[in-house]
Structure 1
Amino acid sequence: MSTFQKLRQEERETRKNLIVDAAMELFSQKDFHKIGMRDIAKRAGISAAAIYRYFPSRDDVFVEALVRHMLIVEALFEKNIQDGQTSLEEIALLSVDYLLENKTVFQMMGHFMVTGQIQPKAMDRYNEVQRRFLDLLERVHHQTEVGANSRLVTHAIYASITGVVMAFKNYPGRSPEEIKRHIYRLIRIISSVFATGQIPQDL
């Protein structure tokens, strides 16, 4: 790749980052269905026509944002595994921390999970990275005695973790600290049941 081509590629990536960041900002302020490509382009400081050079649809923009965050979580998983922190509970709590600290990301995940409304090409990209995430989770729970159908159990663990966060992240009348503490307790129960078949005594 020539120096000129490299500069063009870097410029393109910079523009894509601006667009993704703009979309995330808007999503933290508006409902998903109220955000259009023109809104994202305006927030990113580019023309409505130019945004389509980088992303063919709104779904592609938001999926790219999700993918980038999932890659961050994947890197955190890998680091924990390398550091020997490989229990299901440790990995599950790491996931919870990330989702609670990045609420816009989780809201976006929830939109796609609940509605299932996403462009086919964007869905392919999302599924590709989600499979890699599930592969990592599967590596962790191989140490548990959870039955023969490993992938199916991995899906159950993933659904349990995200379901707990979705159900209790806005627990009425509780402070953020109380909510986090409650979610932690539930995750400890889930992790223990999947890993040992037992509910932990010291809750």
Structure 2
Amino acid sequence: MVDIKELKEKEKERRSNFIIDAAEKQFFAKGYDTVSMDDIAAEVGLSKAALYRYFETKEALYFAIVLRGTRILAAMLREGMDNAPTNIEKVTAYRDVGDQFAKDYADYQKCCYFLMSGRFDPASIMANKDIQEMGLMLGEMYTRFRNAIQAGIEDGSIRSDVEPEEIAVLLTMISDGINNMRSDLLMILASRGIDKEKFSRDVKRLIAAMITNTGKNGGPEGSHRGD
């Protein structure tokens, strides 16, 4: 027996994805503030009233695009960390995947940064179901990252005198900073013949030297866990 309700839900999902596809092109090319719901409605061949039946606001449509990008990132992170054989390599994989996502999906990355730019009302962000799902996924990935650092400390591959939470936050901040680097800093590096990719590789080597255990007791010779 045909389930009419299920068919209607599938059709609604198909149409929603079609709208998101069209909106992506507009937002990626022109930016959030320049694009109107009239523009998107014209792109998909719907009246604005019909468009609002699928997405109540332009904000909601933009948040759906951010969620789509986050799902891609989360899938890449799961695969990268699952395929890494050791804890220290899982930590490296987390950062490598983040950099790869920024390179391969730069438009989604820009949307994620714009979401956190202060442009949107925090209450609207937190009330949106797509953003809530995004937060859960990012929280899961961060927890796996932090746990890999803790496990690396326990197996002796990462220094024992570091705090896992601090290292997880610091490395996340460094990755975000490099992926969203100011143009003037890029120009300074370029004046020395250093492009963004070389800078990122050099920073990774520095971080590896900073956190990797080189001593006998879970840290550099003579070190101990600080208060």
State the TM-score, normalizing by the size of structure 2.
Answer: 0.71
Gaps in structure 2 of 5+ consecutive residues: 154-161, 215-227
1:89 to 2:106 alignment: no
Indicate the residue corresponding to 1:138 in structure 2. 143
State the 4+ residue runs in structure 1 displaced beyond 6 angstroms. none
Q: Please say which structure displays the higher CA radius of gyration.
A: 2
Structure 1, unmatched stretches of 5+, are 199-203
2:140 aligned partner, one-letter code: D
- 1:128-184 Cα offsets, whole Å, 9 max, x none, are 423422322332232335416x3x65444323211210006894596xx94333323
Aligned-residue identity in percent: 19
Instruction: Give yes or no for the alignment of 1:158 onto 2:176.
Output: no
- In structure 2, the CA distance between the partners of 1:46 and 1:83, relative to structure 1 (3 Å rule), is same
Cα distance between partner residues in 2 of 1:38 and 1:154: 43
- 1:27·1:35 contact (CA, 8 Å) conserved in 2? yes
Equivalent position of 1:75 in the other structure: 75
Q: Identify which of 117, 128, 131 aligns with 1:126.
A: 131
Measured in 2, the distance between the counterparts of 1:69 and 1:9 equals 23
Change (3 A) 1:10 1:164: same
Deviation at 1:111, TM superposition (A): 1.4
Partner of 2:225: none
| In structure 1, distance between residues paired with 2:122 and 2:147 | 34
**Which residue of 193, 200, 203 corresponds with 1:186?**
203
> Map of 1:2-41 to 2, 5 A cutoff?
2-41=2-41
Who is 1:64 aligned against? Answer: 64
1:184–1:24 CA distance, 2 compared to 1 (3 A) = farther
Q: Cα deviations across residues 97-135 of structure 1 (Å, max 9, x unaligned)?
A: 111111111111121222241473443432442342232
* Shift, 1:190, TM fit: 4.2
Aligned-residue offset at 1:67: 0.9
Quote how far apart the aligned CAs of 1:186 are: 2.5
Shift in alpha-carbon separation, 1:120–1:45, aligned structure 2, 3 A: farther
Q: 1:51 matched to which residue of 2?
A: 51
Distance of aligned partners of 1:184 and 1:66 in 2 relative to their CA distance in 1, 3 Å threshold: farther
**1:147 aligned onto 2:163:** yes
SS at match of 1:34: coil
For this pair of structures, how many residues does the alignment match?
Answer: 193
Kindly indicate whether residue 117 of structure 2 is the aligned counterpart of residue 114 of structure 1.
yes
